[in-house]
Amino acid sequence: MANELLEQVKKSPAAVAVHDKRAWMSIFAKYHVVEDPVGSTPHVGGLYDNATGARGDGALSRFFDCFIQPNKIGFDVLQDVVCGNHVVRDLNINIEMSPAVKVTVPMHLLYELTEEDGEWKIQRLAAHWELMPMMGQLFGKGFACAGVLTGLTVRMLKLQGIGGMLGFSKAVFNIGNAGKTGVHQMLRAINGGEMSDLMSQFESDAACVYVPYGDEPICPSQVIEKSGIEKIALGKILAAGDTVTASVTIKVAGDEKSGVLMADFNRKTKKIMSARFYFDQLAEA
């Protein structure tokens, strides 16, 4: 099953590279959610769509036309991890908006798949990346970015409307450094075997920790004793919406694995509500 899920997910960058809208849209389930970036207003399919006046994939179609069709997009995949019905890709996205405006966006992509009519389909796509650093790259191009930003604004107004533009801009506000610090402290506590420090990072002991995702969850007070984690090294770390994602190297029962951590926060208390470790690298892109 894991290879089937991964092959289905790989159809997305293949279709994006050649701007094949029909092929790209066909990999999504009837009812689907696209969060790109996480923290912005999701694009939801299968429900009633005001713009088209019908139930269907109108929002997904407009997303493609607005953000994919006008650009050259390349996926530089560092690793793929399959756990349960989830596929996580640790990667950089290279976007050419014009010959003079190119940006590289560090990202973690989460695909949640479901079986529909005997075939695996993407039910949820969550793109974890940070909007402000990407905008910083754009503005760093100087006058070259003026035409790109003008074109993007016009497309967003036409395809997403004022509400869609405001919804996209919500991604500016996220758990940020408070969440990143919380993840650092959680991993430091696990590495040091410090139970009280570990517990202080979670909302409560009712929080779910998956080591890895797909296994039965354990509570924070069981992580040090039951997870089998011996050491965690932290790599790339990103904050998007209420979630912090991080590339990690994990030593579990003497076996070193690379993977991705996803920690969901309560944005008011700045405490972790759930933590999911994805590891067991299956394939390279």
- 59-117 per-position pLDDT tens digit: 999 999 999 999 999 999 999 999 999 999 999 999 999 999 999 999 999 999 999 99
Selection from 30, 92, 26 nearest residue 64 by Cα: 26
Structurally, what CATH architecture does the domain formed by 2-129+131-172 represent? Roll (3.10)
Residues with Cβ within 8 Å of residue 247, at least 6 apart in sequence: 78, 90, 108, 234, 235, 236, 237, 258, 259, 260
Per residue in 103-133, pLDDT tens?
A: 999 999 999 999 999 999 999 999 999 999 9
Query: Yes or no: is domain 176-283 CATH 3.10.450.50?
Result: yes
Cβ–Cβ under 8 Å, residues 5 and 88: no
CA-to-CA distance for 195 and 168, rounded, in angstroms? 39
CA-to-CA distance for 9 and 3, rounded, in angstroms? 10
Residue 28 has pLDDT above 60, yes or no: yes
Per residue in 214-227, pLDDT tens?
A: 999 999 999 999 99
Domains 2-129+131-172 and 176-283 share a fold: yes
CA-to-CA distance for 274 and 123, rounded, in angstroms? 21
Per residue in 251-281, pLDDT tens?
A: 988 889 999 999 999 999 999 999 999 997 4
Average pLDDT, the chain: 95
Secondary structure element (H or E) that encloses residue 189, with its range: helix 176-192
Q: Which amino acid is at 228?
A: G
Beta bridge partners of 28: 122
Alpha helices in 120-160 (DSSP H): 131-139, 144-159
Tokens of 148: 């790109």
Q: What is the CA radius of gyration of the chain?
A: 19
Per residue in 134-163, pLDDT tens?
A: 999 999 999 999 999 999 999 999 999 999
Q: How many residues does the chain have?
A: 285
Residue 283 has pLDDT above 70, yes or no: no
Cis check for the bond before 212: say yes or no (omega within 30 of 0): yes
Domain ranges of the chain: 2-129+131-172, 176-283
